[in-house]
Structure 1
Amino acid sequence: MTLAEKAPTAAQRIATFTAGLRAQDLPEQVRRTASLHVLDTLGCGLAASALDEAAYVVSGTEEGAGGGPATGIGVAHGLPAAEAAFVNGVLCHALDFDDTHPESVTHVSVAVTPAAFAAGEAAGADGATVLAAVVAGNEVSTRVGAAAGGVFHARGLHPSGVCGVFGAAAAAARARGLDAETTAHALGIAGSMASGLLEFLADGADTKRLHPGWAAQAGITAARLAAHGATGPATVFEGRRGFYATYLNGVEVDLGAGLADLGQRWNTPSIAYKPYPACHYTHAPVDALAEVLREHPLRADEVARVVAFTDKTGVDLVLEPSADKVRPRTPYDAKFSLPYCLASLLVRGSVEVGSFTPDAIADQAVLAVTPRVSYETREYSPRPDAFGGGVRVETTDGRTFEAELRYQRGGAENPMTEDDVRVKYRANAGLALSGGAVSALEDSVTRLGELPDLGFLAAVRS
């Protein structure tokens, strides 16, 4: 068999799909869902900007970057595309309120949307092109991550960074109109930029929120370099020194199976929205406790013990080491503490953006409850990481109440409604914008595929 007759590699198959994708060919549900995820993502970024979360990313970028054609949330002037994507990726993930694809355990939109928008602004693309870029990035990130399930987490890698860079590269390539051959090179280049360590769990450091921003920035850079002639390995995924072989050494991964229905089955509608600004592994137990409290109103002093139910990955992310979880060290650390989230709901009646401030995590009434939270492991789905969970509440007078969710709220099996997502967007965006601007931005994003350009993004500048 000659080189020309060889079967296409995974990167080449992805590139062919990406370069040929058009918004008008997408199923209506995919177009509508993609726009709604963009809206949700922008709302999260606007809320983070208004609350000065990750302010260092704006000031740091302004120090190192000049002007440019792309928009950074909260940045008054235009930025180069890569820097705008970095700012937006970090801010949109900063509150940990952004969407997640359960099967790949990847925060999808916070890498893909910033890359698609920044590359689209730089290229003067219309809304339909950018919408196609968003969908392409979604489909790539989710498939690259799903091929290995939760194994990335077990290796200490953050899929949102290491897998998200490929979705961002695909999105950037589509937004600037690269052909299939050049897009394949962009994906090959992106493989050498894949990064993201979970060591932030050791002390609540800021690095996790940087991962989607770096993925978005790297994706744009990879596409730009490919457009100017740089080459990347065609076997970046399946090669013996490729992405899976090195990052997951010893684990057999078959990305090809996930690509077999690329362009026929769509993952975009299965990306889960977040009802709470905390790690997804806290959500089902929090909702279960809320269900118990609706049926049996209890004061914190009436609760002797709360036993949380989660799977092995949930234990590692939000319950252990116990000493760190009962007294979160930073606001971001608290987002990965199930004892803190459950205690906040029990004491304050809510888990919301304001629950994760320096003053909130020092609330002694909440910290008095966190040591009463223990856990049991359960398996909720044969599929890895369906984010199921629950609680058993034991009262001081001997009563016991239990509730659980096999699938977290916000996912395909237990969905938030479109109205739920829009209400969430309006609350988040309203922290930064006037009511009129919130509505205008919502209308523009909803009609993204019909717009001649991305001029509406001017509303998110400071």
Structure 2
Amino acid sequence: FHLTATCGAFGAAAAAGAVLGLEAAAIAAALGIAGSQAAGSMEFLADGSWTKRFQTGWAACAGLHAAALAQAGFSGPATILEGRFGFLHAYSDGATTAPLAAREGYELMRTSVKPHACCRYMQGPIDAVLALRAAHRIEPDQVERVEVGMLAAGFPIVCEPADAKRRPASVVEAQFSLPFGIAVALARGAASPAEFSPACLRDPTVGGLMERVVGVRDPALDAAFPRAWPCWVRIALRGRPPLEAHIEHPRGDPESFLTPAELERKFRTLASRALPAAALARLEAALAGFPRARSVAPLLAAAIPSGT
């Protein structure tokens, strides 16, 4: 299952319920309603289908609908998470609610923010490659082989089938291809949305590098997962000593969080794809003032590109 889709509906329902000022019983109903809409398949990996994007938006939509229905008095099962036919039993084996009850604080504050425009399992390896590239001035034609130590959970998602991962045919396929992510980082020195593009898919330098990237299962890495998302990268170079880097916590994880400047840069990079400069400036101003705002209305209005 696609966790963003299955769990996202609950998060959206809780957030929408809070914004609507729902009481606890109504929020519980909203979560119950969201549970009937929590769905999402990972089959988009088979051919790079756009359902990857669709499922994320649909989860948000499902949460909004759930909160609105609960506000109108529609009921939903209060035991949607732990019940006999609830979410935990439907989507996992041996599930328990104990970790939820034992947690202190908000898990939202431990959310990772990806700096690179691709799968979560590729973030650490790309961090390592970019660090080695910057420190040692690696040229693509010097690279003979790149080995990447991977977590078992991510290996089938970004490394298999190996031939297909070395020949992504779409942007979505590239975003779930370890060979592409490593190759484009080596060739371009970045892994932003601009690098995960049709132009880079056709780049012969990137294509040549993909053939030299090999994912390696490493059980030693799994011992730390999911507390940490470790990886390692080894690069064999023509006429130069081999290079190696280890990453314990990828950039963007709570232990290695992005700086305010990096977050702002990511925001502008993504928002500018949908908003012109004037609208983007208004949205930034609305976000800056949001902690003191008495309503979400100004923020929502600023996010609409009309009137620019």
> Shared topology, TM-score over 0.5?
yes
- For 1:429, the equivalent position in structure 2 comes to 271
- Measure how far apart 1:327 and its partner are: 0.5
* DSSP-derived class of the 1:307 partner: strand
2:245 matches 1:410: no
Distance 1:232 1:377, change over 3 A: same
CA contact (8 A) 2:34 2:66 kept: yes
2:188 matches 1:345: no
CA distance in 2, matches of 1:386, 1:329: 31
Distance 1:428 1:236, change over 3 A: closer
CA distance in 2, matches of 1:412, 1:354: 25
- For 1:458, the equivalent position in structure 2 comes to 301
- For 1:145, the equivalent position in structure 2 comes to none
2:72 matches 1:228: yes
CA contact (8 A) 2:146 2:214 kept: yes
- For 2:39, the equivalent position in structure 1 comes to 195
2:176 matches 1:336: yes
The number of aligned residues is 302
CA distance in 2, matches of 1:457, 1:182: 24
Q: Which aligned segments of 4 or more residues in structure 1 are displaced greater than 4 angstroms?
A: none
* DSSP-derived class of the 1:354 partner: coil
Unmatched 5+ stretches in structure 1: 1-156
CA distance in 1, matches of 2:72, 2:301: 29
* Mapping for residues 71-150 of structure 1, pairs under 5 Å: none
CA distance in 2, matches of 1:327, 1:366: 10
CA contact (8 A) 2:113 2:258 kept: yes
Distance 1:430 1:366, change over 3 A: same
CA distance in 2, matches of 1:203, 1:386: 30
For residue 179 of structure 1, the aligned residue among 6, 23, 32 is 23
For residue 440 of structure 1, the aligned residue among 270, 282, 296 is 282
- For 2:214, the equivalent position in structure 1 comes to 374
- Measure how far apart 1:435 and its partner are: 4.3
CA distance in 2, matches of 1:243, 1:458: 35
CA distance in 1, matches of 2:11, 2:274: 28
Task: Give the letter for the 1:461 counterpart.
Answer: I
Task: Give the letter for the 2:152 counterpart.
Answer: K
- Measure how far apart 1:197 and its partner are: 0.4
Distance 1:428 1:219, change over 3 A: closer
Moved more, 450-459 or 291-300: 450-459
* DSSP-derived class of the 1:166 partner: helix
CA contact (8 A) 1:380 1:386 kept: no
| Cα deviations by residue, 1:356-386 (Å, 9 ceiling, x for unpaired) | 2222212222111101111222316534273
- For 1:295, the equivalent position in structure 2 comes to 135
Distance 1:292 1:243, change over 3 A: same
Over the aligned positions, Cα root-mean-square deviation in angstroms equals: 1.9
TM-score (norm 2): 0.91
Task: Give the letter for the 1:417 counterpart.
Answer: T
- Measure how far apart 1:439 and its partner are: 3.4
For residue 165 of structure 2, the aligned residue among 286, 308, 325 is 325
Task: Give the letter for the 2:301 counterpart.
Answer: A
CA contact (8 A) 1:203 1:333 kept: yes
